[in-house]
Amino acid sequence: MINDLWILATASLVAAACSMVGVFLILRRQALLGDAISHSVLLGIVLAYLLSGSRDLFVMLFGAVAIGLVTAWLSDTLHRFGRIQADASIGIIFTLFFALGVILVSLFAGQIDLDQECVLYGEIAFVPFDTIYLGGMENGVEIGPRAFWTILVVFAIVLISILLAFQRLQTVSFHPSLAASLGINILFWHYFLMTLVSMTTVASFDAVGAILVVALLVIPASSAYLLAKSLKGMLWIAFAYSQVAVVVGYAVSYQLDSSISASIAVAAGILLALTIAIQLLNKRYRQKQPAKQFAPEQASSNA
Amino acid sequence: MEAWNLTHSVSMWDNLAAFWRFEDINALWVLSGSILLGMSASVIGAFAFLRKRSLIGDALAHAALPGVMMAFLLFQSRDPVVIFFGALLSSFVGFFIIDWLPKNTKIKPDAALAITLSFFFALGLMLLSYIQGAELENKSGLDKILFGQAAAMTESDIHLLAYVSLFILITVALFFQKFRLIAFNRIYAQSLGISVKSYELLLALLIVMSVVVGLQLVGVVLMAAVLLTPIAATRYWSNQLTPMLLLASTIGALSALISTQVSYLAPAMPTGPWMVVSLSLLFMISLFFGTNKGLLKRWLETRALRKRVAEENILRTFYKLSERQQERESFSMADVQGMRNMQASQLHATLDQMLRKGLILSQSGGYRLSESGMQQASQLTRRHRLWENYLMQQAELSPDMVHQQAERMEHILTADEETKLQAELNSSHADPHGQPIPQGKGERHD
Distance CA B119, CA B117 (A): 6
Distance CA A51, CA A49 (A): 6
**Same domain for B123 and B247?**
yes
Is B174 among the domain residues? Answer: yes
Last residue of a domain, one of B314, B338, B369: B369
Give the residue from chain B lying closest to A257, CA to CA: B130
Substitution target from B97, B115, B277, B283 for chain A, most A beta carbons within 10 A: B115
The CA-CA-CA angle for residues A37, B214, A30, to 5°, reads 20
**A45-82 per-position pLDDT tens digit:** 888 888 887 777 788 888 889 999 999 999 999 999 88
Q: Which amino acid is at B341?
A: N
Q: Given this model, what pLDDT does residue B159 score?
A: 87
- Considering only CA atoms, which of A56, A68, A29 is closest in space to residue A201? A68
- Is A110 a residue whose pLDDT tops 80? no
Eight-state DSSP code of residue A136 = -
**Same domain for B231 and B313?**
no
Is B81 among the domain residues? Answer: yes
CA dihedral A205, A206, A209, A214 (to 10 degrees): -30
**Same domain for B136 and B174?**
yes
Substitution target from A258, A276, A278, A284 for chain B, most B beta carbons within 10 A: A258
In contact, A201 and A211? CB cutoff 8 Å: no
Q: Given this model, what pLDDT does residue B129 score?
A: 86
pLDDT along chain B (446 residues), means of 10: 43 70 73 89 92 87 92 87 91 93 92 94 90 77 76 81 93 93 88 89 90 85 90 92 94 90 76 90 94 90 91 88 80 81 84 86 82 87 86 80 83 84 75 77 46
Smallest CA–CA distance, residue A196 to chain B, in Å, is 18
Q: Which amino acid is at B269?
A: M
Chain B residues whose beta carbon lies within 8 Å of the beta carbon of residue A22: none
What are residue B13's phi and psi, to 5 degrees?
Answer: -70, -30
CATH of the domain at B242: 1.10.3470.10
Mean pLDDT of A274-281: 94
Give the nearest partner residue to B228 out of A31, A88, A253, using CB atoms: A88
SS (HEC) of A181-206: HCCCCHHHHHHHHHHHHHHHHHHHHH
Last residue of a domain, one of B347, B369, B391: B369
**Same domain for B326 and B253?**
no
A224 interfacial to chain B (CB closer than 8 Å): no
If one counts the domains in chain B, the total is 2
Smallest CA–CA distance, residue A230 to chain B, in Å, is 15
Give the residue from chain B lying closest to A263, CA to CA: B126
Distance CA B384, CA A222 (A): 57
Is B421 among the domain residues? Answer: no
Residue A110, SS3? coil
Contact B113 A31 (CB under 8 A): yes
CATH of the domain at B359: 1.10.10
pLDDT-above-90 percentage for chain A: 45
**Same domain for B233 and B247?**
yes
In contact, B213 and B164? CB cutoff 8 Å: yes
Smallest CA–CA distance, residue B45 to chain A, in Å, is 11
Q: Given this model, what pLDDT does residue B428 score?
A: 67
Q: Where exactly are the structural domains of chain A?
A: 2-302
**Same domain for B329 and B210?**
no
Facing residues of A134 across strands? A141
Last residue of a domain, one of B251, B276, B292: B292
Average pLDDT over chain B reads 85
- Considering only CA atoms, which of A19, A89, A45 is closest in space to residue A206? A45
Give the nearest partner residue to B222 out of A84, A95, A263, using CB atoms: A95
**Same domain for B193 and B60?**
yes
Facing residues of B390 across strands? none
What are residue B194's phi and psi, to 5 degrees?
Answer: -75, 135
Substitution target from B118, B292, B301 for chain A, most A beta carbons within 10 A: B118
Give the nearest partner residue to A102 out of B228, B273, B293, using CB atoms: B273
Contact A95 B235 (CB under 8 A): no
Query: Which numeric CATH code is attached to A2-302?
Result: 1.10.3470.10
- Is A136 a residue whose pLDDT tops 70? no
Is B432 among the domain residues? Answer: no
The CA-CA-CA angle for residues B147, B149, B154, to 5°, reads 135
Is B22 among the domain residues? Answer: yes
- Considering only CA atoms, which of B431, B418, B436 is closest in space to residue B391? B431
Q: Given this model, what pLDDT does residue B12 score?
A: 66
Tell me which residue range forms the domain holding B266. 12-292
**Same domain for B174 and B208?**
yes
Is B6 among the domain residues? Answer: no
Q: Given this model, what pLDDT does residue A219 score?
A: 96
**Same domain for B240 and B328?**
no
**Same domain for B245 and B103?**
yes
Give the nearest partner residue to B125 out of A29, A214, A262, using CB atoms: A262
A34 interfacial to chain B (CB closer than 8 Å): yes
**B125-154 per-position pLDDT tens digit:** 899 888 888 877 777 777 777 777 776 777
C-alpha B16 chain-centroid distance:
34
Using 50, 70 and 90 to split pLDDT, how confident is the model at A290? low
